[in-house]
Structure 1
């Protein structure tokens, strides 16, 4: 029963994150990526800090000792990732953006090998290449012969940049001992201090914003920014990051389903490329190796019994 409740939380988490892509595609037509990022996360601060205080009761002296990496997390994960993501949605579909973002776990593993000297098994290496091949199919719209061309969709290329930025954010985040919701709240606070002068310089014309965009911003700040993050951390603490990480593959699935309901047509190369990305990420994450070792251990225990 406990695991069932956690699975529900993880399904809601990924559903809310999927909605961020879909709403972002609509909102970016009226509001700039900078102001989407700024308004979403400024509002989120009013919920993140009280939640962090209630659930984590942070040691603020320890938090302030880590101010430099927290500023870096704010620059990468709050400003960099979101600006690139919403910029990408100006040029590509929500489904494509979500499918390319599914590379994240595999790319994180790759950079962990390069930067943290972590080791990869043969299965993980094969998985990494399969997921990259799937991403290439999506990027080239199924025409791998055009791989050397320079006329790729700008949004798809930006999404690869967003994946790389999130990878560095994740690697740095691994090294910080601050509780996760507190780290998000404080890094968001630093990010908003940095972003405020740029937002003020750019300005925003409120009279040109429709009610749909306002609802979109409210959705982004309440659900992907706050609920998803809190649900994610509750789940990770309960069943571990490796098991919870499997549910991240639902984000492109939910994004595609929501987009289909709104009239977007799925192309065969998106389906095939996305499937390869999922398979590759599953292998790269080490889940297959863990399942096999668990199966062997169980079989050995049965023989000994």
Structure 2
């Protein structure tokens, strides 16, 4: 159990590194970062997943719509929006807003999957929403009402909305796919989607000059290897040992690790609005997740008794 907790903590540290590195190399445009991240990840995963890919061709052809949904949301749109957001906002803000992802997932599950929300969950959703808005508005109601809000924070909100859609697709279809073979297919489809997008980006902005700098390539390699592959292995191991609901609580550490890294490596300054907003977001997520686990366990007991 202790090893599983360690795996999940390392995973969240890697996720925070995604925001920190994405901010550090944001002289590259967002589609370019996403394209090379996916390409590197594909080359890393291919030796592990090619056998599964070849053995299960019928699974891929039968479920191509779900796989395309994976690629469009979790692989392409989410990452493009995150790296676009980091052009305008701090990695600290991005980490705080991203930590509200479980709340968005609960809301979408309520709307589209007809899952029931309890009063405590509704309170948690409200608290997290207030926290995210407080961070985005920089603790200023005047700024909020004037709608003079950092566009990067809005892109980050859009990113976690897309990730919540991706999570719903995963919940409905993930049991159908072998892990590594599925990742190979999803990344391959993502690359095919990204090729025309990155060509268009280069046609508009010009070919990125920074691609001749070794430090940017180190950043891209980190994004392709760690968040896209190693974090996947560690996360799946942790989830298989302690369950997805308890594992999701570890995501509350994301703003903590991101803030520390931003201060140490990017010289970002932490302000009171970020601290207050971060505490509210994490508190809301804990309320939502804790109550969700209680509901799920209660439903399981009822099924067993019946």
Size of the alignment, in residue pairs?
291
**1:143 shift after superposition:** 1.1
- Match of 2:145, SS state, is coil
Cα 1:208–1:107 shift into 2, 3 Å: closer
1:155-170 matches, cutoff 5 A: 155-170=152-167
One of 275, 279, 285 as aligned partner of 1:275: 279
1:223 positional shift: 0.6
1:108 paired with 2:124, answer: no
Please say if 1:132 is aligned against 2:129. Answer: yes
The counterpart of 2:83, out of the listed 76, 82, 86, is 86
Q: Is the 8 A contact 1:282 1:288 kept in 2?
A: no
The answer on 1:32 being equivalent to 2:35 is no
Deviation at 1:57, TM superposition (A): 9.1
Deviates more, 1:99-108 or 1:142-151: 142-151
2:51–2:181: 8 Å Cα contact kept in structure 1?
no
2:269 pairs with one of 257, 265, 268: 265
Which of 139-148 and 10-19 deviates more?
139-148
- Residue of structure 2 in register with 1:285 after alignment: 289
> Structure 1 residues 38, 143: closer, same or farther in 2, change over 3 A?
same
Q: Is 1:174 aligned to residue 177 of structure 2?
A: no
**SS of equivalent residue, structure 2 residue 268:** coil
Q: Which residue of 1 aligns with 2:73?
A: 76
**Contact (CA 8 Å) 1:130, 1:280: kept in 2 or not?**
yes
From 7, 10, 21, the counterpart of 2:8? 10
Q: CA deviation digits over 1:61-87, x for unaligned, max 9?
A: 112211111112101111100111000
Shift of 1:197: 2.5
Q: Secondary structure at the match of 1:35?
A: helix
- 1:184: how far off? 2.9
Report the aligned-residue RMSD.
Answer: 2.2
1:224 has 2:222 as partner: no
Scaled by the length of structure 2, the TM-score of the pair is 0.89
Residue in structure 1 matched with residue 304 of structure 2 by the alignment: none
Distance 1:207 1:98 in 2: 25
Unmatched segments (≥5 aa) in structure 1: 298-305
Residue 251 of structure 1 pairs with residue 254 of structure 2: yes
More deviation, 191-200/121-130: 191-200
Q: Using the alignment, how far apart are the partners of 1:36 and 1:165 within structure 2? A: 18
Work out whether residues 34 and 80 of structure 2, in 8 Å CA contact, stay in contact via their aligned partners in 1: yes
- Work out the CA distance in 1 between the residues paired with 2:211 and 2:246: 44
The superposition leaves residues 119-167 of structure 1 with CA deviations (integer Å, 9 ceiling, x where unpaired) of: 0111111000000010111011111243322210010011000011111
What displacement does 1:173 show?
1.4
Matched, 1:154 2:151: yes
* Contact 1:18 1:255 (8 Å CA) reproduced: yes
Q: Which residue of 2 aligns with 1:234?
A: 237
> Cα distance, 1:207 vs. partner?
6.0
Q: CA deviation at 1:116?
A: 0.3
Separation of aligned partners in 1, 2:208 and 2:128: 42
